[in-house]
Structure 1
Amino acid sequence: MHDTPATPVMIIDDEAHLRITAGQTLELAGYTPQAYESAEEALAALTPDFPGVVVSDIRMPGMDGMTLLREVRGRDPDLPVVLITGHGDISTAVEAMRDGAWDFLEKPFAGERLVEVVRRGIEKRRLSLENRTLKAELEAQQSALGPRLVGRTPAIQRLAAMVQRISQVEADVLLFGETDAGKDLVARAIHERSARREGPFVAINCGAVPESTIESELFGHEKGAFTGAVERRIGKFEHAQGGTVFLDEIESMPLALQVKLLRVLQERSIERLGSNQPVPLDIRVIAATKVDLRAAAEAGDFREDLYYRLNVVTLPIPPLRERREDIPLLFQHFAVLAANRSGLEAPPLDAAGTSALLAHDWPGNVRELRNLAERYVLLGVTCDYRLDALLEGVESDGGDLPLPRQVELFEKSLIGQALARHGGRVTEVCEALGVPRKTLYDKLRKHHLRAEDYRHSAEP
């Protein structure tokens, strides 16, 4: 990770010579020192989401460093505070670390030691702020629009546009994609963006329900309809009144039941088992399949009339390997979600990790990536943050891509991450990547990236 030269570092000490010396050391290392004689002055200048690190002496007149530490952590527990202790004052250092100090420096300390502690603190701070921003965006977008389709590749952008368009009409939808490519997420996204968002979203996996009970599951039954039917049961369709029914793995539905489903789609009513009374339905049906239903119909494994009834609107869901540029962004998205659930921080994704992600073929698609991100958050420290260690032993064909294509994907991913991290601000991106402005613009044109696309939706 590269630090931007503008990153500020607060230096708080009542001794002028220490402020000057530390400030010069940090300035030479590419940081912007902000010197204060007292803790009170520093607190008055401390802004929310301060992007840097606070370095403070412990023993000062007025508010001392330990009190400053508690004040800073009360405002923002994720802001790294480095405390300077006197020679041999081990007990104070231990107390400071116990109270949440990021690190401590023992007088006298070398300039290299100061720079290293600050560098690590700023890396932690940047990650904390990125996670905080993404969490807020996720909460805002999920509350307003439901599940979010993460990605910037043309394939996922086209899918997002179609989801937005289809959600505004009442047509039934067929989703086609590999196992764990995200069909359930797309179905829920359509529901949450539609006028039915206040109604129930009822999902049933046709391949997971025994054939002997699936009809009762979908349509319900009356008391005494069959042996064991001791009371009336409302089926999934009826339970979804005013909302959406999601039929996953519809290719697994028995042929006899497909006839009844066709009638439901045409007449928008059902009859419970053991009843002749039709029940009107106000529902939308979203079906999903991992097989070619047309080929299945031609082979006699799926009803042709049901296929044509479902095929009014079909959305193909691209597998992960066909949108490789989105993989690092998706990975960080899942890592932040896992970190928020577990109370941990998502470790930073470095160049080696990005390369490992792009080289893998992802036969398990989005679910495999999400599981890896969760393991990375929980076990990252023990694996030394090495994604290749977590992927070790998993077969992959991703490395069979031609070397120029792998390099191109890697470069585009790094540039996209930098643009997203810095909100499309070209100057900061140039500084972070260490390239001249002209070089960056050449690469933006080469990879069909536009800085302005990143200015209103910062990503990790």
Structure 2
Amino acid sequence: MSKARILVVDDEASARNGLAKLLAQDDYAVDMAADGKEALDMVQEKAPDLIVTDLQMPNMGGMDLLNQVKALAQAIPVIVVTGLGEVAPAVAAMRAGAEDYLTKPVDADAMVVAVERALERRELAAESENLRRQLRARDQEGLEGLLGTSPAMNKVYRTARQVAPSRATVLITGESGTGKGELARAIHTLSPRAKAPFVALHCASLAESLLESELFGHEKGSFTGADKRRIGRFEQANNGTLFLDEIGEIPPLTQVKLLRVLQERTFERVGGNEPVKVDVRLLAATNKDLAAEVREGRFREDLYYRLNVVHVEMPPLRLRGHDVAILAEHFLRKFARENHRRLDGFSDAARAKIVGHRWSGNVRELENSIERAVVLAEGSRIEESDLPFEGAPVVQGAVRIPGATMAEIEKYAILATLEAADGSTARAADILDISVRTVQYRLHEYGVAPSRSRS
């Protein structure tokens, strides 16, 4: 990946060339201009990623250049360089929108740090804007509640769009906290039934006797306490969508009755004999391996195949790469708004801690952690100490950074990703954004075979 383009602006050739040489050593592409007017022409022709400018220059000084650049392209960060003791101009430049300022003679390390920090903030701002666009697009498409740009999530979005117009039953699987309920609601919203009811029921939270009544309703006097007829979830969802969460928990007798509804689209209320006909699209979710449950005799095979017409697997957060950072930023804004807090994002250490954590509780755990951090944060941003979980160790395996070679880092990245992907070379390749062939070739080099090669 190519480094950023930086425009260095200074009327003194030696200072200009010295800065350009310093930045080029860090592999930045560097353009140069002798004054603000020349720099402005270059910005209008091809905007750089960052500008480093002296303040005192003929024709057009750094302050005028800063104001013009901000008027043209607010996103370009500007670092100003002032003479020693010129505090007032530096303060004025910062108020006008400069990203940072340095004094002459410029310290090389300070310049590199300032540039890296400015470019990182620019990237975060771009990510935030991309996230806002993504949220608007998701809302327009009916994919509210689903967020992320990873290959794994893009596959989920494609399947949701394809299956939504049909009336096919969809089985959504995945670990707890991955967003199965949000996907179900998105499929409903994208479907022709969007204006009809979306009714959800968590099957694991009810006893068997209550579950049947919740699903099918009951007649007055059908059991103690049934003092009037009650309409069940199937009737409530008529012409719409019924979402049954944790369907792997329903008992055998209820499985039989549910199968009948799927086959005949009729049922009787508890204590009743009159058939009730409904038109309901069923979506089901589970964190269990239903195929294994069928083999063990705990789940009916015929019901499993009725439910598993279309199968969508929600990926765990550890397989979603940069989505972790995107989701964390989203939750930060959400909870800051709800709690009337003004927070300027995450510190570098906090962001590294979030990205490095293994989220066993998936999106739900991440959301809860960010909410707690927002509520308890004492400063103007979320610090590492505000996050209620342990960070990743600095030393992992045989890789120490700094200190490891690129080959060692690559090997660790491939093997650690393969482990997180449960041995799937296809999933590991998706996360690493390389080909499956490359992963397999490297594993052959390392003398390591994946535990299994399923996609």
When normalised by structure 2's length, the TM-score is 0.65
1:112-168 Cα offsets, whole Å, 9 max, x none, are 433332232223323433444455346435633724686447xx8887776566445
* Alpha-carbon separation, structure 1, partners of 2:150 and 2:173: 19
1:52 aligns to 2:49 (yes or no): yes
* Alpha-carbon separation, structure 2, partners of 1:234 and 1:117: 65
1:279-319 Cα offsets, whole Å, 9 max, x none, are 643321112233455776798866x4873564453637377
* Alpha-carbon separation, structure 2, partners of 1:53 and 1:199: 51
* Alpha-carbon separation, structure 2, partners of 1:305 and 1:193: 30
Call closer, same or farther: CA 1:197–1:275 in 2, change over 3 Å: same
* Alpha-carbon separation, structure 1, partners of 2:438 and 2:350: 20
Which residue in the other structure is 1:108 paired with?
105
- Deviation of 1:201 after TM superposition, in Å, equals 3.5
- Deviation of 1:106 after TM superposition, in Å, equals 1.5
Comparing 133-142 with 202-211, greater Cα deviation is found at: 133-142
Which residue in the other structure is 1:307 paired with?
303
Which residue in the other structure is 1:408 paired with?
414
1:331 to 321, 324, 332: 324
- Checking the alignment, whether the CA contact within 8 Å between 1:202 and 1:240 is kept in structure 2 is yes
- Checking the alignment, whether the CA contact within 8 Å between 2:346 and 2:382 is kept in structure 1 is no
* Alpha-carbon separation, structure 2, partners of 1:335 and 1:316: 24
Which residue in the other structure is 2:141 paired with?
144
Equivalences for residues 43-442 of structure 1 within 5 A: 43-46=40-43, 50=47, 52-60=49-57, 65-66=62-63, 68-73=65-70, 76-133=73-130, 135-137=132-134, 139-140=136-137, 143-144=140-141, 146=143, 147=146, 151-152=150-151, 166-167=163-164, 169-188=166-185, 190-192=187-189, 194-197=191-194, 199-209=196-206, 214=211, 217-219=214-216, 235-253=232-250, 258=255, 260-269=257-266, 280-291=277-288, 304=300, 307-308=303-304, 310-313=306-309, 315=311, 317=313, 320=316, 326-338=319-331, 341=334, 344-345=344-345, 356-357=356-357, 360=358, 362-368=359-365, 382-383=383-384, 389-390=390-391, 406-410=412-416
When normalised by structure 1's length, the TM-score is 0.65
Equivalences for residues 2-81 of structure 1 within 5 A: 4-5=2-3, 7-15=4-12, 18-46=15-43, 50=47, 52-60=49-57, 65-66=62-63, 68-73=65-70, 76-81=73-78
Call closer, same or farther: CA 1:244–1:112 in 2, change over 3 Å: same
- Deviation of 1:107 after TM superposition, in Å, equals 2.6
Residue 441 of structure 2 aligns with an amino acid whose one-letter code is K
Residue 171 of structure 1 aligns with an amino acid whose one-letter code is A
**Unmatched segments (≥5 aa) in structure 1:** 393-397, 425-439, 449-460
* Alpha-carbon separation, structure 2, partners of 1:24 and 1:382: 35
* Alpha-carbon separation, structure 1, partners of 2:332 and 2:41: 32
1:446 to 441, 444, 451: 441
- Checking the alignment, whether the CA contact within 8 Å between 1:148 and 1:189 is kept in structure 2 is no
Residue 29 of structure 2 aligns with an amino acid whose one-letter code is T
* Alpha-carbon separation, structure 2, partners of 1:30 and 1:16: 21
Residue 58 of structure 1 aligns with an amino acid whose one-letter code is L
Residue 334 of structure 1 aligns with an amino acid whose one-letter code is L
**Unmatched segments (≥5 aa) in structure 2:** 337-342, 398-408, 421-427, 444-455
Residue 281 of structure 1 aligns with an amino acid whose one-letter code is V
Call closer, same or farther: CA 1:377–1:35 in 2, change over 3 Å: farther
- Deviation of 1:102 after TM superposition, in Å, equals 1.6
- Deviation of 1:247 after TM superposition, in Å, equals 0.4
Call closer, same or farther: CA 1:26–1:292 in 2, change over 3 Å: closer
Whose relative contact order is higher, 1 or 2, with alpha carbons under 8 Å and at least 6 apart?
A: 1
SS at match of 1:108: coil
Call closer, same or farther: CA 1:349–1:106 in 2, change over 3 Å: closer
SS at match of 2:391: helix
Question: What root-mean-square deviation, in Å, do the aligned CA atoms of Structure 1 and Structure 2 show?
Answer: 5.3
Aligned identity (percent) is: 35
Which residue in the other structure is 1:451 paired with?
none
| Aligned residue pair count | 409
* Alpha-carbon separation, structure 2, partners of 1:256 and 1:238: 20
* Alpha-carbon separation, structure 1, partners of 2:279 and 2:430: 44
- Deviation of 1:267 after TM superposition, in Å, equals 3.3
